């Protein structure tokens, strides 16, 4: 996903609990889903940033080169300005862009069917 084009807020936004729990019926499940998605987003952003910064890796100890690399500084600043992964994940969740499944319920239903057979 392209996180550069997200419409998530840059700062913290107050959310209504009923809006968050609407999809799952349970606020704790919703928060757990948002949290897991946030970790996925953070991992993707970190991998992308690391990949871009590897191009600038210098294996010499020349301090002048380190401070003069404006491209690297611009890339770092760009990623710092992106909305936080939790805000992106919350926005995705509220827009119903996050797929999730309830494995516990499916497992319980399967066990109940096995017991009745």
Residues 24-78 pLDDT 10s: 888 999 999 999 999 999 999 999 988 888 887 766 656 555 556 778 888 888 8
Contact between 51 and 43 under an 8 Å Cβ cutoff? The reply is no
Q: Measure the CA–CA gap between 108 and 106, rounded to whole angstroms.
A: 5
Q: Of all residues in the chain, what percent carry a pLDDT higher than 90?
A: 19
Distances in Å between the alpha carbon of 25 and those of 52, 64, 94, 104?
41, 57, 13, 15
Residue 43, pLDDT score = 95
C-alpha neighbours within 13 Å on the C-beta side of residue 19: 10
Count CA atoms closer than 13 A to 68's CA, side-chain side: 5
**pLDDT at position 2 over 80:** no
The label of the residue with tokens 């940033």 reads: 49
Residue 98 has pLDDT above 60, yes or no: yes
Enter the pTM of the model.
Answer: 0.72
57 and 51 Cβ atoms separated by less than 8 Å: no
Average pLDDT on 17-27 reads 88
pLDDT for res 77: 86
| Residue-range domain boundaries for the chain | 15-116
Which pLDDT score is estimated for 58? 66
The label of the residue with tokens 């380190």 reads 66
pLDDT at 10 over 80: no
């Amino acid at each position: 996903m392209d996180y550069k084009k997200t419409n998530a807020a840059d700062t913290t936004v107050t959310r209504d609990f009923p809006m968050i729990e609407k999809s799952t019926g349970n606020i704790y499940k919703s928060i757990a889903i948002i949290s897991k998605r946030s970790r996925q987003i953070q991992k993707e952003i970190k991998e992308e940033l690391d990949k871009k910064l590897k191009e600038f890796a210098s294996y010499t100890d020349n301090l002048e080169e380190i401070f003069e690399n404006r491209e690297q500084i611009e890339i770092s600043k760009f990623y710092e300005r992106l909305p936080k992964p939790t805000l992106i994940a919350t926005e995705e969740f509220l827009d119903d862009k996050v797929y999730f499944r309830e494995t516990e319920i499916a497992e319980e239903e399967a066990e109940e069917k096995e017991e009745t057979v």
